[in-house]
Structure 1
Amino acid sequence: MNSNAIPPPTRRPSLSGLRRPLVAGILCTLGVLGSITALSVPDAADAAASTLGAAAAQSGRYFGTAINAGKLGDSAYTTIAGREFDMVTAENEMKIDATEPNRGQFNFTN
């Protein structure tokens, strides 16, 4: 045999029996850590931005909505609007066709 010859490949011990439990253990650990992270207590910045208006205020912006006057009697609607928005604009009630149905004739009633 030549001294420069490459030796024949040798068979290494199989790791496939260990690979599956190892991968499963790593995935399980990552899943548990991800769940713990998701359930952790929110920090002060998240707590401060608990509404849409507060989230907008963090970047120096206002967050508003257009409200239909007919919906003002709905307590769920007004509660959500009051909690989430910094600004309110009349929806259709202040458009030109509602306030001036004919040229020179103004109407500011419902």
Structure 2
Amino acid sequence: EDAMTLMKDNGCFSCHAIASKKAAPAFAGIGKRNKRFEGENARYVIINSIKNGSKGKYPHFSDMEMPSYTNFSQEELETIADFILAQSSKAKGHGGNCGGGKGQGRGMGMMGGMR
């Protein structure tokens, strides 16, 4: 299956969106943040978060906890991780929606004030 189908079928879009924040960070921001790791390491970090859950990685979302998703095959995890990493070009930067989306906001955007 393709990433969008896998993610829709498993409720990922209940909390995440592609390029805007919801209850959890946008996939574009997650992709941008994890691009700092080289190749397979970037993919591994995302896969690890999906398999084991995640909490506290993004300051603005520190109270949110993503549950673990152990139902995906390794191939499905790689498909999803590659999709998320590919969204990094859609990230709006540090400001996100705060400050008019022009980067003036602090701690409210997709990157949650991360530097």
Question: By the TM > 0.5 criterion, same fold?
Answer: no
**Which protein has the larger Cα radius of gyration, Structure 1 or Structure 2?**
1
Q: Taking structure 1 as the reference length, what is the TM-score of the superposition? A: 0.21
Compute the TM-score of the two structures, normalised by the length of structure 2. Answer: 0.20
